[in-house]
A and B are shown apart, each in its own frame.
Chain A
Amino acid sequence: MTLLVAETLGIHFGGVQAVDDVSFAVETGRIFSIIGPNGAGKTTLFNLISGIYRPNTGRILLAGEDVTGLPPHRLAAKGIARTFQNLQVFYGMTVIENVMVGRHLREERRLVPAMLGLPSVTRQNRATRKKAHEILAFVGLDERIDEPAGALSYGDLRRLEIGRALALEPKLLLLDEPAAGCNPVETAELIGLVRNIAEQGVTIVLVEHDMRFVMQISDRVLVLDGGRMLAEGSPEAVRQNPEVVAAYLGRHGAREAGYARG
């Protein structure tokens, strides 16, 4: 079954065509990666899918429903969650509160009961906290739940963002360079985590620079260059695509790709 479909997406800023005629489809429960050199339009594409930008052309379908141009919080309600390349952690809150924010849509949000501190609100806080705790345990952060988020290491912050996104119980999880800035151990742990998430039936679309990471984990790979699609297919197919090797990986990259193959 197809969860996410992008049809001829395009957006320009001033005279710059940042994303141009990009189409792809992602099957439910799969891991779909988007790669490309810097400035290829990967994050812009993410911003289109998550509703931060509105596309100039094309459509986005989520589980068959047209969700083009919906604002981010509406998309979140439809089951899209994401993390950010440059972290967007709520530094003024504790670790567990960050994840509790992710439960927003599952919570009663009326003002008056909240201000009165009704027993129902207290109960709900307790339930949200419990759930957040479980999620933190799942992403491996359950030891430091009441510390300020700022006290965490870079790699832990990436997990925290993933935890916050998972708290939404999304259908589609967008990960923007989840391994950026992580050391090899952290990266390896991350691969396990992403696989675990996918196994639970969450569809994952990710943007990543780390080739090893992408090749190990992806079901399909989309290559962008200059805002346009260069190739799309299985990791193996993409790796062997000479156009990709030439344009994206370059000479140096070609050698590296060769190693990866061997």
Chain B
Amino acid sequence: MAEVLQFCFSGLTVGAVYALVALGFTIIYNASDVVNFAQGEFVMLGGMVTVALAAAGMPLPVAAVAAVGVAAVVGVALHRLAIEPARGASPVGLIIITIGASIFIRGIAQVVFDKQFHKLPAFSGDTPFAVLGATILPQSLWVLGGTAAIVVGLHVFFERTLIGKAVAATAANRLAARLAGINTTSMMTLSFALAGAIGAVAGILVTPITLTSYNVGTLLALKGFAAGMLGGIGNPLGAVLGGLMLGLIEAFGAGYLSSAYKDGIAFVVILVVLFAFPRGLIGKRSAERV
């Protein structure tokens, strides 16, 4: 029983990271129909900028806030300088642009920072809690709590604030939003900033556990994308569900089946799920209009 619990802890911690990356995907996808393969770079920036600023003598909380700001600015720049000018390009063309952007950001990071691995101190110590024979690090609770806080925060933002509703409206129907007087371009830019900031928060939360370096982004983008599709793209709840499920599948796959093939097991599950639910677990089901 202890091992089941241990696998759960592991899966949820890792899954929370995937969920945050998938959330970033979802926010940008909803606002602009772009699948942003540079999403992983925001996570990298969150970790690396914090590490670099802290190393330069800045207090850790200030460095963390600054890193979130940097990632948000990069998100805005991505939208304004790369996505917006390419409006009307094919969806695959836009994907290629975001991949170009991720190569570019990574290239800058390896020059500005370095190619070493770095860590941040855990927020509240490294002494694991023991729960029914399994153990969990305090930082894992921070990651899970942080993820929950972001999900709740996003919900409040989209449902309760005027600007959040404007973003949601842009996501739901761009033309109608524009007709209602919403500046949809600004809302898209805001979405990119938001996705950047969430990515950076994820990076700061997990760096004490997973460590970071200039090239952690690619794999995170891939896993986050997979998580988003598993849940059903465009649905924030699906992103979180997909992320947590992916983490759990990996943990249980590694624990019970084969650690060498755990990523493969995850993809097999995704394939099977998609065969049964071609739009993800809780994706939009719209009948085709002809």
Contacts and interface: CB of A to CB of B under 8 A. Distances in A.
Interface of A: 13, 43, 47, 52, 84-86, 88, 176
Describe B's contact surface by its main secondary structure. loop
A176 B290 CA distance: 10
A195 to B, nearest CB: 26
Interface of B: 287-290
A52 B289 CA distance: 11
B290 A84 contact: yes
Nearest to B289: A86
A88 B287 CA distance: 16
B290 A85 contact: yes
Contacts of B287: 13
Nearest to A50: B290
Nearest to A88: B290
A86 B290 CA distance: 6
A43 B290 CA distance: 8
Nearest to A47: B290
Contacts of A43: 290
11 contacts: A13-B287, A43-B290, A47-B290, A52-B288, A52-B290, A84-B290, A85-B290, A86-B289, A86-B290, A88-B290, A176-B290
A47 B288 CA distance: 11
A87 to B, nearest CB: 10
A86 B289 CA distance: 9
Contacts of A84: 290
A224 B283 CA distance: 33
A84 B290 CA distance: 6
Contacts of A52: 288, 290
Given A86-B290, A176-B290, 9 more contacts: A13-B287, A43-B290, A47-B290, A52-B288, A52-B290, A84-B290, A85-B290, A86-B289, A88-B290
Contacts of A85: 290
B92 to A, nearest CB: 14
Nearest to A53: B287
A56 to B, nearest CB: 14
Contacts of B290: 43, 47, 52, 84-86, 88, 176
A127 B290 CA distance: 31
Interface core residue of B287, B288, B289, B290 (most chain A CB under 10 Å): B290
B282 to A, nearest CB: 16
A119 B76 CA distance: 56
A130 B287 CA distance: 38
A12 to B, nearest CB: 12
Nearest to A82: B290
A105 B290 CA distance: 22
Contacts of A47: 290
A135 to B, nearest CB: 23
8 cross-chain pairs, A with B, having the tightest CB-CB distances, nearest first = A84-B290, A13-B287, A88-B290, A52-B290, A47-B290, A86-B290, A86-B289, A43-B290
Contacts of A88: 290
A84 B289 CA distance: 10
A84 B287 CA distance: 16
A242 B289 CA distance: 32
Contacts of A176: 290
A43 B288 CA distance: 12
A228 to B, nearest CB: 20
Contacts of A13: 287
Contacts of B289: 86
Contacts of B288: 52
B90 to A, nearest CB: 11
A9 B289 CA distance: 20
Nearest to A46: B290
B283 to A, nearest CB: 16
A85 to B, nearest CB: 7
A42 to B, nearest CB: 12
A171 B290 CA distance: 22
A106 B290 CA distance: 25
A208 B290 CA distance: 15
A52 B287 CA distance: 11
A253 B290 CA distance: 27
Nearest to B290: A84
Contacts of A86: 289-290
Nearest to B287: A13
A85 B287 CA distance: 16
A13 B288 CA distance: 12
B228 to A, nearest CB: 25
A176 B289 CA distance: 13
A84 B288 CA distance: 13
